Amino acid sequence: MPTAQIEKKPRKTSGSPYPLWFFLPAGVIYGVLFLVPTFASLYFSLTRWNLFNSTFIGFENFLSFVQEPFLIKGLINTVIFAVSTALLKTIIGLALGILLTSNIRMRGLLRTIAFFPILVSTIGIGITFAVMMHPTRGIINVSLELIGIDGPGWLTDPTLALYSVAFVEVWRGVGLASVIFIAGLVSIPRDYYEAARIDGATKWQQFKRITLPLVQPATATVMILSFVYGLRSFELIWTMTKGGPGFSSDVIASVIYKQYQAGFYGLSTAGNVILFILIAVMVMPLVAYFNRREVDL
Amino acid sequence: MKQLRPAILGCITLVVFCVIFVVPFFFIALQAVKDRQGSSLLNFSWPSETQLWQNLVDVVQARDYQLLLAYFNSTVITVFSVTGLVIFAAMVGYVLQRRPSKWNKYVNFAVLAGLMIPPAVVPTIWLLQQIGLFKTIHGMILIEIAYNLSFSILLYRAFIATVPRDLDEAARIDGAKPLQLFFRVILPLLKPVTVTNIVVQSIAIFNDFTNPLYYLPGKDNVTVQLTLYNFQSQFSTQYHLLFMNILLVTIPPLIVFIFFNKQIVEGMTAGAVKG
Amino acid sequence: MSGLELKKVCKSYGAVEVIKDLSLQIESGEFVVFVGPSGCGKSTLLRMIAGLEDCSGGTVEIGGEDVTDAEPSDRGIAMVFQSYALYPHMSVRDNIGFGLSLAKTPKAEMNARVEEAAKILQLTDYLDRKPKALSGGQRQRVAIGRAIVRNPKVFLFDEPLSNLDAALRAKMRLELTELHANLNVTMVYVTHDQVEAMTMADKIVVLNKGVIEQVGKPMDLYNNPATAFVAGFIGSPQMNLLEGAAARKLGAEIYGIRPEHIDISRESGLWRSTVRQIERLGNDAILYLDVEDVGSLTVTTDGQTDVVIGDMLFATPQPQNEHRFPTIAR
C-alpha cells in the first residue's frame, strides 16, 4: 500500500464545517420579501398612500380604526372569531382526541376522516358551505324543515353570519387539533392511570388530575396555533360572506383587502399593523402563561 | 358485552363523523355530476341524469381553458417553491442546530416572527413592483418560499437534532468539505422529514388563495384557487359546473393525502408540537 | 508511517480547563492507550489530535509535521468512533470508499483499495449491504475498514468496543491487536476500561483531570504506579489504599497493597479481621474483610478456599509488593 496519500501542506483552518453562509439564501428571500415590507408597513401605516405618492398623516389611520363604526366592528369581530374558534377547536379537539385514543374500533379510519378537511382548499369548503347554508334552498335549512324547525338565514342574518363562518372554521380545523391532542395523549404513560385506579380515582378524577395537566403542551399548541390562525383568518370569511351582510362579519383581514381594493393603501397597511399588534398583545401572554405552567410541571 | 362496546362505539362514531365530515364532500361530488336544473335545487336528490363527462368538459373549456392554465401555473409555483423551501430550509435548520453562534438567537426570532406576523400586504406589493416581480410567477414563488420558510426550518431543525454528530466528524475526517458534507452525507439522511416537508408544503401552496389574490392578479397568472373564486361569481346559476370545479381542484391534495397520509399527520403534528 | 508529538497542548472551554499543558511523545508504530475515568479529558485529547477540536494552546505534530491548524482530513489520521458513525444511506462499499471518492480517486484504484481493506477485515461478502443489515461486530469492522483505506499515519480509536457485548469485545480486542501487528502503524486508543488498556497497549497513558498521571508499559504501571491514582486505576480488583493513622503506622501518607498481594492465615498476621462478604469467581475468590482501625480490605485468594462469612482471619501484606505514596490529592 502506498503510504499517506495526503501530502498537502497543512493550512490554516478554513472555518467551521457549518458555514454561516448557509443562512444566506433563505435569509435574503425572507429579509427582502418579509422583513422589509414589515418594517416599511410601520411607516406607510402613518401615511395617506396610493402607490404613487404618500403623505404623512400621523396616527389618523389608526384613529379611524377606533372611530369608524365599520372598522371597530372589524376589530371586535376578529377577536370574537379568533377566541371562539380557538376555544371550540381546543375543547372539541380534546374530546375527539380522548374518544379516538380510547378503546374504540376503526380508530385509524376515524382519525383520517376528521383530519381530511384541513387539506381541502379553504375556498372550496367556503363555497360548499355557503351553498349548504342557503336560507331557503340550502340543505341545512331544508333538513331542519323536515323536523319542523324554521332555520335562520345562516349567512344572511347579520347577527349570525360571523358565527356561521366560525362554525365552518371549527369544522375545518378540529381534525388537526384532535390529531395534535392524540399525539399528546398517547405520550402519557399508561402507568399513571393504573396507579390512579389502584388509588381509587374515578374516571372524572383521572381526567382532571392526570389527563388535563399532562396533555398541557398539546393544549398550548392547539390554543396558540388556532388563535393565531383565527386572528389572521381571511379566506373562509371572504368566500362565504365577503364580510357581509353590510360589514357585520368583517374582520381585520377582510378590511385590509377591501381598503386595498378601494385604493386606501395607508389605511389597509394600518390594518396590517393593528393585526400584528393584536397578535403580539394577545398571543404573547398566552405563550408566556403556557411556558410558566410547563415549568411548574 | 364487554367486547361489543368498542365496536358499537366505533360504529356510532363512524356514523356521526360521516354525517359531519363526509356529507359536504359527498354533496360536492353529487352536485358535480348533476345537470344544470338538478344542481340548482341544491339538494341530495339523486341526479335524474348524470353528466360527469359533459360537466368536466364544460368546466375545462370555460373562459378559454382557464382551468388548464391555472393548473399549469399552480403546478409551476408549487414545484419550484417547494424545491426552494426544502433546500434553503434544510440548510438553515442544519447550521442552526449544529453550530451555536451569536446569530442563532436572531434566526430563531425570525423563524418565530415568520410564523406569527401577518405579512404586510400593500408594502409587499409596493416592493414587488419596485423590483419588477409583481404579477410574475417567479415573484409568487419567492413569496411562497419567504412565507413558508419558518415552518420548514422548524421541521428540519427538530429532525437534524436526531442525526448523530459523529457522522459529520467521520465525514470531515474522510475529507468532506462543508458543501459535500451537507449534500452527500446530511441531506440524504433527512429524507423522511424532506418527504413530510414536500407533502405538507405542496398542499399548503397549492391550496393558497390569499397570496395569489394579492400578488398575482391578471388573467394569465390565474391559479386553481383563483379559478374557483372567479367561477363563484360567474357560475352562480350553474352550480353543477362550480362544484365540478371544486372537485377538480380538490383531487390533487386528495391523491397526495391517500399516499402520504402518515407523513402529513406526522409532519403537521410534529411541526406544531415542537414549534 | 510515523510518530506523533504533543507539545504543551491545552484546551479550555471558557474558564474550564479540560487539558492542561500536556506534552506527550508517541513513537512510530506504537499502540498507545489513553485511559482514565470519564471526564478526565482523554476523548478531548484524541479529538484534538484528530483536529475535531481546536487547541487552545500548544502544537500537535504528526510525522514531524506541525498539523495544529490543519483540517482533520489533511492530518493523515483516521478515526474509529464509539458509535462507528457509519453513513446509514450508503452500502459498506460506499462507506469504506467515501473518503477516496471525495478525494476523486480513480474508480479502479478505489475499488482495489476497498476490496483489499474488505479482505483484511473479512467483509468481502458484505460489501453491498447497508450498515443496518450488519451485526455489531461487522459494523465495527466496517468502521475500521473506512480507517484502513485512508492509509493513515495514525489510527485513532474512541472507545470503539464499548457498544459490544463482553464476548465480542474480547474477540475484537484480539483482532485489533493482530491488525496492529499486521499494519504496523501508530494507533492511539481511548478507553475507560483498564482491562482493554492492559491487554492491548504497548504504552499506557493514564489521564486524570486533564493531566498525565503516568506513562509506561502496562506491567510497569502495574508494578510501579507513580501515584495513588494510577495505583487505584490499574489492576482489578482495585488496590487497597489506606489513609490516615493506619497508613502512617506503615510509614506513608497513603499505603497501597493489591488484593492479590495479601496473604491470609487463621493463626497469625498483621491485621486481625472478620470476613464480611465473599465473591467466588471460580478460579479466584474475593474476600471483603473488616479490619479494626484500618477499615475495609479486599483480598484475592484461591477459589477453593473454605472461608465463610463471619470467619476471623489474619491478613498480612507481602513486603516486597507494598506501595507508598505521598498524598492522593493533586
Tell me what ipTM this predicted complex has: 0.85
Query: Is A101 domain-assigned?
Result: yes
In the structure, what pLDDT confidence band is assigned to residue B271 with cuts at 50, 70 and 90?
Answer: low
Nearest-CB residue to C85 (from B169, B176, B188): B169
**C243 and C210, same structural domain?**
no
- Reported as type and span, the H/E element at residue A86 is helix A69-101
Instruction: Write the CATH number for A211.
Output: 1.10.3720.10
The C-alpha of B166 sits at a distance from chain C's nearest C-alpha, in angstroms, of 5
Compute the mean pLDDT over every residue in chain A, rounded to the nearest whole number.
84
- Considering its fold, how many domains does chain A have in total? 1
Q: Which of the other chains make 3 or more beta carbon contacts under 8 angstroms with chain C?
A: A, B
Nearest-CB residue to B117 (from A22, A25, A38): A38
Nearest-CB residue to C77 (from B171, B173, B180): B173
Nearest-CB residue to C70 (from A4, A5, A11): A11
**C97 and C180, same structural domain?**
yes
Secondary structure (3-state) at B66: helix
The C-alpha of B169 sits at a distance from chain C's nearest C-alpha, in angstroms, of 7
**Residues in A touching C74 (Cβ below 8 Å):** 6, 8, 10-11
Task: Choose, out of C44, C54, C67, C81, the residue to mutate when testing the contact with B (most B CBs < 10 Å).
Answer: C81
Percent of chain C at pLDDT exceeding 90: 41
Instruction: Write the CATH number for C319.
Output: 2.40.50.140
Q: Provide mean pLDDT across the span A132-154.
A: 82
**C188 and C273, same structural domain?**
no
Per the CB < 8 A criterion, the answer to whether C210 and C40 are in contact is yes
**C276 and C171, same structural domain?**
no
In the structure, what pLDDT confidence band is assigned to residue B237 with cuts at 50, 70 and 90?
Answer: low
| The pLDDT value given to residue B90 | 94
Spell out the domain ranges in chain B: 64-274
**C148 and C118, same structural domain?**
yes
**Residues in A touching B84 (Cβ below 8 Å):** 29
**Residues in C touching B173 (Cβ below 8 Å):** 50, 52, 72-73, 77-79, 99
In the structure, what pLDDT confidence band is assigned to residue A62 with cuts at 50, 70 and 90?
Answer: confident
Compute the mean pLDDT over every residue in chain B, rounded to the nearest whole number.
84
Query: Is C253 domain-assigned?
Result: yes
Q: Does C89 touch chain B (CB under 8 A)?
A: yes
Q: How far is CA A22 from CA B69, B87, B101, B132, C102, in A?
A: 36, 10, 13, 26, 21
In the structure, what pLDDT confidence band is assigned to residue B272 with cuts at 50, 70 and 90?
Answer: low
| The pLDDT value given to residue A13 | 44
Q: Does C76 touch chain A (CB under 8 A)?
A: yes
Angle among Cα B150, B154, B155 to the nearest 5 degrees reads 120
Give dist(CA B271, CA B274) in Å, integer.
5
- The pLDDT tens digits of the residues spanning C174-189 come to 989 998 998 888 999 9
User: Which residues fall within 8 angstroms of residue A138, CB to CB, at 6 or more apart?
Assistant: A131, A132, A154, B42
Compute the mean pLDDT over every residue in chain C, rounded to the nearest whole number.
89
Give dist(CA B218, CA B66) in Å, integer.
12
Nearest-CB residue to B174 (from C73, C84, C89): C73
Domain boundary among C231, C264, C284: C231
Q: Provide mean pLDDT across the span C40-47.
A: 91
Q: Which residue of B has its CA nearest to C143?
A: B170
Q: Please report how many Cα atoms fall inside a 13 Å half-sphere around the Cα of residue C269, on the Cβ side.
A: 18
- The pLDDT tens digits of the residues spanning C245-292 come to 888 888 888 889 999 999 988 888 888 899 999 999 888 999 999 988
Q: Which residues of A touch C (CB under 8 A)?
A: 1-6, 8, 10-14
**Residues in B touching A19 (Cβ below 8 Å):** 95, 178
Contact A10 C73 (CB under 8 A): no
- The pLDDT tens digits of the residues spanning B135-183 come to 899 999 999 999 999 989 988 988 898 899 999 999 999 988 999 999 9
What φ, ψ does residue C20 adopt, rounded to 5°? -115, 115
| The pLDDT value given to residue A5 | 40
Contact B265 A111 (CB under 8 A): yes
Residue given cell 352536485 in the structure block: B31
Q: How far is CA B168 from CA A287, B149, C65, C96, C191, in A?
A: 35, 25, 25, 15, 22
User: Which residues fall within 8 angstroms of residue C208, CB to CB, at 6 or more apart?
Assistant: C36, C37, C40, C229, C233, C330
Query: Is C246 domain-assigned?
Result: yes
Percent of chain B at pLDDT exceeding 70: 89
| The pLDDT value given to residue C95 | 92
Per the CB < 8 A criterion, the answer to whether B244 and B55 are in contact is yes
**C12 and C135, same structural domain?**
yes
**C311 and C193, same structural domain?**
no
Domain extent, residue C137, equals 4-231
Domain boundary among C177, C197, C231: C231
Instruction: Write the CATH number for C11.
Output: 3.40.50.300
- Considering its fold, how many domains does chain C have in total? 2
Contact B95 A23 (CB under 8 A): yes
**C135 and C65, same structural domain?**
yes
Amino acid at site B275: G
In angstroms, how far is CA C44 from the centroid of its own chain?
Answer: 14
Domain boundary among C231, C246, C278: C231
**Residues in C touching A8 (Cβ below 8 Å):** 74
pLDDT surpassing 70 at residue C25: yes
Buried b (16+ CB within 10 A) or exposed e, B32-47: bbbeeebbeebbeeeb
Contact A17 B168 (CB under 8 A): yes
Q: How many CB pairs under 8 A join A and C?
A: 39
Domain extent, residue A87, equals 69-261+276-296
Percent of chain A at pLDDT exceeding 90: 19
**C180 and C307, same structural domain?**
no
DSSP code at position B177: -
Query: Is C330 domain-assigned?
Result: no
Give dist(CA B135, CA A60) in Å, integer.
31
Amino acid at site C65: E
Query: Is A78 domain-assigned?
Result: yes
Contact A4 C71 (CB under 8 A): no
Give dist(CA B38, CA B239) in Å, integer.
9
Residue given cell 378601494 in the structure block: A262
- End-to-end distance of chain C based on CA atoms, in angstroms? 37
Q: Does C73 touch chain B (CB under 8 A)?
A: yes
Q: How many CB pairs under 8 A join B and C?
A: 60
Q: What is the CATH number of domain B64-274?
A: 1.10.3720.10
Q: How far is CA C26 from CA A224, C3, C60, C185, C186, in A?
A: 60, 6, 11, 11, 8
Per the CB < 8 A criterion, the answer to whether B170 and B176 are in contact is no
User: Which residues fall within 8 angstroms of residue A59, CB to CB, at 6 or more apart?
Assistant: A46
Nearest-CB residue to B166 (from C81, C98, C103): C81
**C170 and C151, same structural domain?**
yes
**How many CB atoms sit inside 10 A of residue A70's CB?**
14
| The pLDDT value given to residue A30 | 94
